[in-house]
Amino acid sequence: MYLNLLRESSFFLLLQRIDEELAESVRCSGCPHCGGALHRAAYPRKPRGGPPLTEAATGAQLPELYDWRFSWCCGTDGCRRRATPPSVRFLGRRVYLGAVVVLLSALLNGVTPWRVTALQQHLPVSRRTLVRWREWWLSTFVETPLWRAMRGFWMPLVDESHLPGSLLARFAGDAWAQLVAGLRLLLPLTTRSCAMPALAGSPAW
């Protein structure tokens, strides 16, 4: 069920709309360093793992603008610092889309040869990359201030040895809702240049 999301352009377009809302919230807040006005300064990315790109958002494809990470630059002389909003599409500097990293990591539950083979039928991700993702969840992610602050929200506690699948399972709704909630939780880890804005009507994670 989760893998089907990687073929649905409508799901990835939903993530783009969320990113647009996040970007607009950051712009309206002004420069996080001096309070000055922010100007568009998006930069290109070459994300892997989603549906193919095209000039028009038709069929199972995404618009070419999906390749761009929303970002802003302060217009105040003497500042000119960048403010890159958090993103549900891009998980930091990883070349694969955030949804791909989360989904494939959730489906691994141990990087065994047959699981790797099964996943590679859908995406050409190397075993080395899959192992690196899983190690990030089990060692790096669990030590982040974000997870240390959030882990106590769930009772019983989330089984950290089965992250991120054990975390996604705690969110209500179908696969769409669970993955979006998981990506929202990771927002603070996707940028270093500005604080995460609050979204009206959105859950804390």
Residue 111, pLDDT score: 58
Percent of the chain with pLDDT over 70: 80
* Bridge partners (DSSP) listed for residue 90: 97
Average pLDDT along the chain? 84
* The pLDDT of residue 202 is above 70: no
* Sole residue written with tokens 């019983």: 156
* Cβ(160)–Cβ(64) below 8 Å: no
Crossing angle of helices 175-185 and 98-108, rounded to 10°: 110
Of the candidates 205, 194, 186, the one whose C-alpha atom is nearest the C-alpha of residue 28 is 194
Can you read off the two tokens belonging to residue 198?
């609050």
Q: Rounded to whole angstroms, how far apart are CA atoms 113 and 192?
A: 36
pLDDT tens digits, one per residue of 28-39:
999 999 999 999
More confident residue, 65 or 195: 65
Can you read off the two tokens belonging to residue 166?
């054990």
Q: Rounded to whole angstroms, how far apart are CA atoms 132 and 139?
A: 10
Percent of the chain with pLDDT over 90: 57
Residue 49, pLDDT score: 81
Q: Rounded to whole angstroms, how far apart are CA atoms 180 and 94?
A: 18
Residue 102, pLDDT score: 92
Mean pLDDT of 78-94: 93
Q: Rounded to whole angstroms, how far apart are CA atoms 203 and 128?
A: 34
* The pLDDT of residue 57 is above 70: no
* The pLDDT of residue 22 is above 70: yes
Residue 9, pLDDT score: 82
pTM: 0.85
Q: How confident is the model at residue 2 (pLDDT cuts 50, 70, 90)?
A: low
